[in-house]
Each structure stands twice: as structure tokens, then as C-alpha cells.
Amino acid sequence: MLCDDGRVGGVARGSEPDTARGRSWSTSLLDTITAEGLDPAYRVAADRRSVGGRSGHRRSGAAAGAALAVIGLLFATAAAQVRASAPAEARTRAALVDRIERRTAETDALQSRVAGLRAEVARARDQVLALTAMGAQAAENLQRLEQAAAVTPVEGPGVTVTVDDAPADEQPLGTEPGTPPAAELSRILDVDLQKIVNALWAAGAEAVAVDGQRLSALTAIRSAGEAILVDYRPISPPYTVSAVADPALLEPRFVDGPAGRELRTLAEVYGIRYDVTPVERIRLPGASGVTLRFARVVGAGS
């Protein structure tokens, strides 16, 4: 701060008493800051004035008034700006987060309702179709298609891959102390989940879900800022990727493949945590929201 009596940075230059040197640097700095809250220039100017024989202090003149007017203008402008942006911003942001959480709960409820309805329709339809041979055959064909398109729940043996961001207190290797931690790289990104899913498919998985969201041909894994969205729904760490397959084959293929190697590298360098566990029985829900708006079957009507 600006002090014009020879002190720099609040520490007296060349006039430290021996006792001060015994104290720690930071203590004496704080002492100085708190001790001389008042700008020493006031004291110096007052001394100068009393030497010159004038009164102890000058009544506030026009200069002070003008400076205070500017200060008032500054305060009012800053306050007006804050009121214009911050309440709107705070309101919007808090309201947004609130709405996101509520909307997520709503869509989850909707999803289970749709799943229930689909089961009802399937039951009613199969009942009707069971009355004719042709109908029964059509129902069976449909079942196979439903499995292939991932819209019905499945269960079976499989593997669960769990990944989590690096713990907050761990610094990634290779960063120098004092530099900001590479927060970006110690988080799981959407590309990491994409690669894990891709590797599971390549290793022979028959059904895959991320955090309980079944993956279909329409499901995308992407990120918006720091959040990862699966099928437009935000998910939070730790992330669970479940796959149904022959665990004896899937686990070694995954672990020895490029994704497994990459996970190990990420864990070593950035401290990301992961875990690959075979499971005896996994149940994965069916994918939801499979309405096509543009694609039509060739030869079908509009």
C-alpha cells in the first residue's frame, strides 16, 4: 500500500529492532498492517502543519468534497451493477440447479412409468396375438428384435467397471508444486467413458449400461461443462459401467485391451480410481425414449 514515510510493504527499512528479527516474518508484517491502519501521511501532514503554526486539522475543503463525490458515484455505480447482475445471476443459477434436479427426478419417474406402460402394452398385445398362430410368431419375432435394439431389460452374468475422479487431495504426477493442479485431467471425461463402453462392446458385451442408463443406438455420452450426460441425463461420479457377457472372456479382454491399458495409465499419472469386477448376475433396464422422428422404413407410408 502507498505509505510515504519511507516504509515499503509495511516493513520498516533498515530500522528493525533486534526483537523484531526474532519473530517470524509474517507475524511482523501482520502486526505492521494492523498497527498502522491509519495512513501515516495524515500524521506527517498534521505535524507539518503544527510546525507551521496552523490549526491542528484543516476543515474539509472542496477537494475532499469532490473526492467524496467521486467515491459516492463509484459506490452507487458498483451497487447498481451488482443489483442488476448478481440477483439475476444468483437467482438464475440457483433456480437452474434446482430445476435441473427436479427435472431429473421427473424424467426418472417418467422413465419408469414408460417402462411400466410398455410392459402392459406388451402383455395385452401378446394376449391378443396368442390367439392366432401368425400372431404368436409375430410376437416372438418382435421379442428378438427388442432384445437386439436394447429396449427390453436383460439380466445375466457380466462385468462392472467403476471409475471415479482422482481424490481431491492428490496431485497428478508430473505437475510442479505451486502450479494449479490439472483439475481437468484428474476428472473422468466423457471420452473416457466412451472408450470404456467401446472396449466392452469390442470384447463381446451383449448389453451395456452406464449408471443405470441402457445404451441403445440412439444413446450418446457427452459432457456439458463438468457434468457428463448419458442420453441427455446428467450423471455424477463414481461412474458405473455394467456389461452383460461371459465374464471369463470379457474381463481379460477388457483389462488387456487398449481401454484397460489406458485406465491403468490414467490411474498412475492422474490418480483416477477404477475397478473391474466380474458379477454373477446383473440386471440392466431397457433403453427408453426410442421414438424415431426422421428415419422411416423403406417402402413404408409417410
Contacts of another protein in 24-83 (CB under 8 A): 30, 33-35, 37-39, 41-43, 45-46, 49, 56-58, 60-81
Nearest residue to 125 via CA among 109, 141, 149: 141
Alpha helices by DSSP H, listed for 52-189, are 62-129, 133-148
Residue 289 found at the interface with another protein (CB under 8 A): yes
CA distance 219 to 61: 72
Instruction: Give me the 152-191 binding string for another protein, x by CB under 8 A, dash otherwise.
Output: xxxxxxx-------------------------------xx
User: With respect to another protein, which residue has the nearer C-beta, 18 or 239?
Assistant: 239
CA distance 140 to 81: 66
Is the preceding peptide bond at 285 cis, omega within 30 degrees of 0? no
CB of 285 to another protein, least distance (A): 8
Residue 136 found at the interface with another protein (CB under 8 A): no
CA distance 35 to 46: 19
User: With respect to another protein, which residue has the nearer C-beta, 18 or 103?
Assistant: 103
Q: Which residue is associated with the grid cell 463509484?
A: 74
User: With respect to another protein, which residue has the nearer C-beta, 18 or 292?
Assistant: 292
Of the ranges 13-21, 169-177, 216-224, 270-278, which one interacts with another protein (CB under 8 A)?
Answer: 216-224
Residue pair 254/161 in contact (Cβ under 8 Å)? The answer is: yes
User: Which residue in 245, 266, 272, 276 binds another protein (CB under 8 A)?
Assistant: 245
Residue pair 258/147 in contact (Cβ under 8 Å)? The answer is: no
CB of 145 to another protein, least distance (A): 4
User: With respect to another protein, which residue has the nearer C-beta, 23 or 204?
Assistant: 204
CA distance 249 to 259: 15
Q: Which helix (H) or strand (E) holds 228?
A: strand 227-230
CA distance 287 to 160: 18
CB of 18 to another protein, least distance (A): 25
Of the ranges 19-27, 130-138, 169-177, 269-277, which one interacts with another protein (CB under 8 A)?
Answer: 130-138
CB of 178 to another protein, least distance (A): 11
Q: Which residue is associated with the grid cell 391378443?
A: 128
What DSSP string runs through 250-281? HHHHHHHSHHHHHHHHHHHHH--EEEEEEEEE
CB of 52 to another protein, least distance (A): 12
User: With respect to another protein, which residue has the nearer C-beta, 18 or 287?
Assistant: 287
User: With respect to another protein, which residue has the nearer C-beta, 228 or 276?
Assistant: 228
Residue pair 250/204 in contact (Cβ under 8 Å)? The answer is: yes
CA distance 137 to 206: 24
User: Which residue in 215, 241, 263, 266 binds another protein (CB under 8 A)?
Assistant: 215
Residue 145 found at the interface with another protein (CB under 8 A): yes
Instruction: Give me the 248-287 binding string for another protein, x by CB under 8 A, dash otherwise.
Output: ----------x------------------------xxx-x
User: What residues between 97 and 126 interact with another protein by CB under 8 A?
Assistant: 97, 99-101, 103-104, 106-107, 110-126
